[in-house]
Amino acid sequence: MKKEELKKLYDTYFYDTFKRFDFVAETGDGVYVIDEEGNKYLDFMAGIAVNSAGHCNKRVVEAIVEQAGKMLHASNYCYTEPAARAAKLILDSIGFDKIYFQNSGAEANEAMIKLARKYGKDHFGPNRYHIVTAKNSFHGRTLATLAATGQPGTPIQANYDPFVPGFTYAEFNNLKSFEDAVTEDTIAIMVEPVQGEGGVYPADPEFLKGLRKLCDEKQMLLLFDEVQTGWGRTGSLMAYMGYGVKPDAVSMAKAMGGGLPIGAMCTTTELAKTFGPGAHGSTYAGNPIACAASYAQISEIIDRKLSEHADTLGRAFMKKLETLPLVKEVRGRGLMIGIELTQDIANDVKYKAVELGLMTTAVRPAVIRLVPPLIIEESHCDEAIRILTEAINACRKD
Ligand SMILES: Cc1ncc(COP(=O)(O)O)c(C=O)c1O
């Protein structure tokens, strides 16, 4: 189908919630997206931090094809091998005991919120269900994860109130603010180790250590949302492993599926006891194809040491990015990088860069976010810098 015809169908039938790039993403190949005319785009957004082992990674594709010929879906009434293999690989690699598969990041967080609430009520009484999250956070778009998200007044939240009660917000990277927000009814603190949608703000190690201590002292749970930071993105398999601060529960999605929709929550055995029979569920959770893809994707990330690569390359890349025009600050961890400009032109730069052959995202008016596949090499970084320089110069307002 030709681009103009396809765009017309989108205009006619789709909700208007995205301003799309002006091309049809027809195929994906490693670090490139290729359009309907054969033009190649260097992909530094990776399907929003999803295609970490590269587009159409051979091992992931083969695993999906093989599983598709055997069983597409069985439901949680049945034992299936892909779910068991993925569970063991995930838990053994990151040092947790139990997993609850979900279908997306928001669902994984929703499960974590439900778990914390039930744990609080089971162990401490009916009012112990409050959760403190960070201002500027992003935890998803379901009603509970939206309530957990600390971005009042933005289009993400406006007019979806009344929100699910029980959430308060404290300043990210400000331990005192979290201490002040905690009350006797607080059961958990929930944060992203690196705030993604909020503008790419890495947590200070001391802040996360302080939260761990605070949670231990007050018998609260520490919950990490690693939907975006998980699986190699920040230079360690999970960001908490790089920080050396272990939460009581962690959520994940995006990169764990290599492109198929899957999410999960991992906890200790003790915490997992909170959900007994009937306490939580999902038709597709642990779907055999999604789990087969996840096993292959995570194996690739581990076997090819992509988290170590993200760490080394990310450090060098961030230094080079400081030479871009109009840079106020470059921040991030591994290959999760935010470029804050001195002008609010991130959106314009994003669309200009696509015209020039580079895909990125803008997460704040002045912040461009780079979350490329973890298989990129230095030459790709140099090419991205060349295109970003041209795009910023074309969009600058002075
Ligand atoms: C930190 C974080 N949590 C949750 C989500 C929601 O994930 P999903 O879009 O898969 O529901 C996102 C998505 O960007 C995210 O970055």
Summarised one tens digit per residue, pLDDT across range 130-148 is 999 999 999 999 999 999 9
Q: Choose one of 227, 260, 282, 363 to mutate for the ligand 1 pocket test, by most ligand atoms within 8 angstroms of C-beta.
A: 227
Cβ neighbours for 9, distance < 8 A, ≥ 6 positions apart: none
Is 241's pLDDT higher than 90? yes
Answer whether 192 contacts ligand 1 (Cβ < 6 A).
Answer: yes
Q: From residue 362, give the alpha-carbon distance in Å to each of 48, 146, 367, 372.
A: 11, 20, 6, 14
Measure 140 CA to ligand 1 centroid, in angstroms: 5
Answer whether 226 contacts ligand 1 (Cβ < 6 A).
Answer: no
Cα gap 330→372, rounded to integer Å: 16
* pLDDT for 153: 87
Instruction: Tell me the helix, strand and coil percentages in the chain, rounded to 5.
Output: 40, 20, 40
Active site residues: 138, 225, 254
pLDDT digits (tens, 9 = 90+) for 9-66: 999 999 999 899 999 999 999 999 999 999 999 999 999 999 999 999 999 999 999 9
Whether 133 contacts 191, CB under 8 Å: yes
Residue carrying the six token digits 């600050």: 329
* pLDDT for 171: 98
Secondary structure tally for the chain: helices H, strands E: 14, 17
Residue 7 is encoded by which pair of tokens?
Answer: 């765009």
Give domain limits for the chain: 3-53+305-395, 59-303
Cα gap 350→358, rounded to integer Å: 8
- Going by their DSSP bridges, the two strands 221-225 and 186-191 should be labelled as parallel
Q: Choose one of 136, 190, 195, 228 to mutate for the ligand 1 pocket test, by most ligand atoms within 8 angstroms of C-beta.
A: 228
Q: Averaged over 123-128, what is the pLDDT?
A: 98
> Which amino acid is present at 387?
I
CA torsion sign for 318, 194, 384, 50 is positive
Quick one: residue 396, left, alpha or beta (phi over 0 = left, psi -120 to 50 = alpha)?
Answer: beta
Answer whether 137 contacts ligand 1 (Cβ < 6 A).
Answer: no
Cβ neighbours for 348, distance < 8 A, ≥ 6 positions apart: 395
pLDDT digits (tens, 9 = 90+) for 251-302: 999 999 999 999 999 999 999 999 999 999 999 999 999 999 999 999 999 9
CA torsion sign for 136, 142, 147, 152 is positive
Residue 326's nearest CA partner among 344, 303, 307, 309 is 344
Cα gap 348→207, rounded to integer Å: 34
Measure 175 CA to ligand 1 centroid, in angstroms: 24
Q: Is the peptide bond before 162 cis (omega within 30 degrees of 0)?
A: yes
Cβ neighbours for 292, distance < 8 A, ≥ 6 positions apart: 63, 64, 66, 67, 82, 86
Cα gap 62→51, rounded to integer Å: 15
pLDDT digits (tens, 9 = 90+) for 140-176: 999 999 999 999 889 999 999 999 999 999 999 999 9
Cα gap 326→340, rounded to integer Å: 9
Cα gap 360→368, rounded to integer Å: 7
Q: How many residues does the chain have?
A: 398
pLDDT digits (tens, 9 = 90+) for 63-120: 999 999 999 999 999 999 999 999 999 999 999 999 999 999 999 999 999 999 999 9
Answer whether 298 contacts ligand 1 (Cβ < 6 A).
Answer: no
Supply the angle between the helices 81-94 and 288-303 in degrees, to the nearest 10. 30
Say whether domain 3-53+305-395 belongs to CATH 3.90.1150.10.
yes
* pLDDT for 1: 85
Give the end-to-end CA distance of the chain in Å, rounded to a whole number.
41
Cβ neighbours for 315, distance < 8 A, ≥ 6 positions apart: none
Q: Which CATH number fits the domain 59-303, given the four candidates 3.40.640.10, 3.30.420.140, 3.40.30.10, 3.90.1150.180? A: 3.40.640.10
Q: From residue 82, give the alpha-carbon distance in Å to each of 67, 77, 92, 251.
A: 8, 15, 15, 20
Answer whether 105 contacts ligand 1 (Cβ < 6 A).
Answer: yes
E strand or H helix at 156: none
Residue 374's nearest CA partner among 256, 295, 292 is 256
Residue 108 is encoded by which pair of tokens?
Answer: 């994984």
Cα gap 91→215, rounded to integer Å: 23
Residue carrying the six token digits 């699910």: 164
Residue 70 is encoded by which pair of tokens?
Answer: 């055997």
Residue 147's nearest CA partner among 130, 167, 129 is 167
